[in-house]
Amino acid sequence: MKFNDTQFAIDYDTRMSAEGYPGELVNLVHNVFTGCIHVIDIGAGSGHFAIPLAQRGLSVTAIEPSAAMVALFNEKIRDDFRNRIIINQCRWEDWRGQSPRAGEKKATAILCAYSIYGITDLYCSIEKMLRYAHIAVIFIGDDAASTTLSGAIRKALGIPSCARDSREKLVSALDALNINYTRQSITQVRRSAFSDINAESEYFIRHLGLSSQDAARVKQILLELCSTLRQSDSTRHPGTAELHPADIPPIGNNTITQWYFFDNIYCDSMFVLRS
């Protein structure tokens, strides 16, 4: 992904936040990290995990190579948890933290949430994780099993999917390194909701690398894929959570009367590694 591009980083951060990411994954991670006081967040992005973990009292060392993501991250840090977050702008492979003593390692956890895709030397990186922490959580998405608005638009346009074999590579590496791990399947439903169909079309033109000539086609696909809800609606749409009128925000003196929405189904895997 083009996280070094400022607009791409802003788009990603805005959309993930609007969908409620990471949602319950924070609770899941926090429970796994019971007894830890320090988390090293690899590929921390704009702080979606690091910030709520710091707000819960954990100290966080964030590793993030993208300057654009780091800038967004810094904007979100408030004074009440500022002293619990340290951001290192570098790749995990290049990070040179002080080797922990036995007690420090026992109190330290690693989080690598959907950021393993860009790691070049997987074997060395995994070994490094367990040199610094006694436990590591790695999240990997399953593009083939997931149903997302982006994927549906790709399919409608005949654009090949960006399916990755990262999960298989991770399993092979863990087995080869003889590392003890558990694996859990996780499914999350996160809603994309928008009121401006033209702005949404423009986003996907940027995101998919299309031209302005594709705008009409992308808009038509969005209209075909997305359900709608007017402020006066009170019925529940089959297969979706209800969007209440109170969820529709006012703009100026006017209130948006219609929303478009798509329920993304993310099918992911959580690997828990233990030294």
- Looking at the domain assignment, is residue 150 inside a domain? no
Query: 228-241: b or e for each residue (b if 16 or more CB lie within 10 Å)?
Result: ebebebeeeeeeee
Domain containing residue 211: 192-262
- pLDDT band (50, 70, 90) for residue 229: confident
- Looking at the domain assignment, is residue 103 inside a domain? yes
- Looking at the domain assignment, is residue 154 inside a domain? no
Q: What is the pTM assigned to this prediction?
A: 0.88
SS3 (DSSP) at 68:
helix
For range 118-144, the mean pLDDT: 94
- Looking at the domain assignment, is residue 1 inside a domain? no
- pLDDT band (50, 70, 90) for residue 237: very low
- Residue 250 has a pLDDT of 47
The residue behind tokens 């704009």 is 46
pLDDT of residue 242 exceeding 90, the answer is no
Cα separation, 192 vs 196, whole angstroms: 12
Q: Read off the tokens for 64.
A: 């993030």
- Looking at the domain assignment, is residue 152 inside a domain? no
Q: Find the distance separating the first CA and the last CA of the chain, reported in whole Å.
A: 31
- Looking at the domain assignment, is residue 148 inside a domain? no
Mark whether 196 and 179 lie in a shared domain: no
Mark whether 68 and 200 lie in a shared domain: no
How many domains, in total, are found in the chain? 2
Closest CA to 222 of 256, 197, 199: 197
- Looking at the domain assignment, is residue 96 inside a domain? yes
Mark whether 168 and 51 lie in a shared domain: yes
Q: Read off the tokens for 224.
A: 């075909």
- Residue 6 has a pLDDT of 93
User: Alpha carbon of 77 to those of 41, 42, 80, 211: distances in Å?
Assistant: 15, 18, 8, 36
Mark whether 174 and 94 lie in a shared domain: yes
- pLDDT band (50, 70, 90) for residue 3: confident
User: Alpha carbon of 202 to those of 16, 100, 196, 209: distances in Å?
Assistant: 17, 47, 10, 11
Window from 76-90, 126-140, 183-197, 229-243 with minimum mean pLDDT: 229-243
Mark whether 136 and 26 lie in a shared domain: yes
Mark whether 180 and 238 lie in a shared domain: no
Domain containing residue 50: CATH number: 3.40.50.150
pLDDT of residue 231 exceeding 60, the answer is no
- pLDDT band (50, 70, 90) for residue 248: very low
pLDDT of residue 177 exceeding 70, the answer is yes
- Residue 257 has a pLDDT of 65
pLDDT of residue 60 exceeding 70, the answer is yes
- Residue 254 has a pLDDT of 52
Taking each helix axis from N to C terminus, what angle separates 149-157 and 215-225, rounded to the nearest 10 degrees?
120
Window from 22-31, 65-74, 220-229, 253-262 with minimum mean pLDDT: 253-262
Mark whether 200 and 178 lie in a shared domain: no
Closest CA to 184 of 65, 80, 29: 29
Q: Read off the tokens for 11.
A: 């788009």
**Residue 240 or 64, more confident:** 64
Mark whether 171 and 86 lie in a shared domain: yes
pLDDT of residue 108 exceeding 90, the answer is yes
- pLDDT band (50, 70, 90) for residue 72: very high
DSSP string, 144-212: TT-B-HHHHHHHHHTPPP----HHHHHHHHHHHTT-EEEEEEEEEEEEEEES-HHHHHHHHHHHTT--G
Mark whether 183 and 258 lie in a shared domain: no
- Looking at the domain assignment, is residue 78 inside a domain? yes
